[in-house]
Amino acid sequence: MKSFAYECIKSTLSDKGVRTIALNRPDSLNAMNWQLIEDVSAAFNDANADPDTLVIIFTGEGRAFCAGDDRHQHVHPENEAQARSLVDAIQRATEAITFGAKPVVGAINGWAVGGGFEWAINCDFPIWGESAKAFFPEVSLNLFVTGGVTSLLPALVGLNKAREMLMLGERYNADELLKAGVAWRVSADDQLLTDANKVAEKLALLPSLSLHAMKRVLNQTASTDVNTAISLEREATISGFMDPETTKLLKLFS
């Protein structure tokens, strides 16, 4: 098992070509700070460029996949330049996961909130633990989603369900996400990584040329224009960050 060094994630490569990228801030439920976001981009870019990596598993250490933004580390930007830099970093992570050549098997454990929910949706084969839950709080906080989900989510669940999930911010369990089409499979919590590895190893045996082409074409054509969605999300999120009302709502959010 080969390990790769990052500050906020663990990245290991098995002898079968399966790279596991695990968010590694368990004391904060893997909440997103700037370093975590940058590490995700770097780890996925490194994995996609590594000829020994055939498939990627994406998961979280501890009790959660990712609990959204870290409110305790002042992720909220103070000016437009900071906002643009932060959102660009988030969308670079999106592009590395979604447009990278290597298939991504999600092993989604515990909470997946906001940006964490987006990363779960970015996975090609999202397997959710039976106790996992997810929701989007962004609209209630005067913010906007990223991750290309304004294109990817309607393609998965239909426009009406996407409106419900993104605007109303309802909380969903794993079975509800499976029924809606967000989860590909649901596994027992103690079997989640085992099941993810089985799928990843099966994918790793396929011819890489056709497999990588299939991921690329599906992600570019099965939804509406993901690149346009990412660009529009960027501007809407920056506007939300700059509105004073957002700061008030974030202080009340728990």
Between CA 15 and CA 53 the distance in angstroms is: 9
The first and second tokens of residue 41, run together, are 């981009």
164 is catalytic: no
- The percent helix, strand, coil of the chain (3-state, each to 5) is 55, 15, 30
Q: Which helix (H) or strand (E) holds 107?
A: strand 104-108
Q: Phi, psi at residue 101, to the nearest 5°?
A: -70, -30
118 is catalytic: yes
Q: Give the Cβ contact number of residue 92 at 10 Å.
A: 18
Between CA 124 and CA 97 the distance in angstroms is: 9
Residue among 118, 176, 201, 235 flagged as catalytic = 118
Residue among 61, 80, 130, 138 flagged as catalytic = 138
Catalytically annotated residues? 118, 138
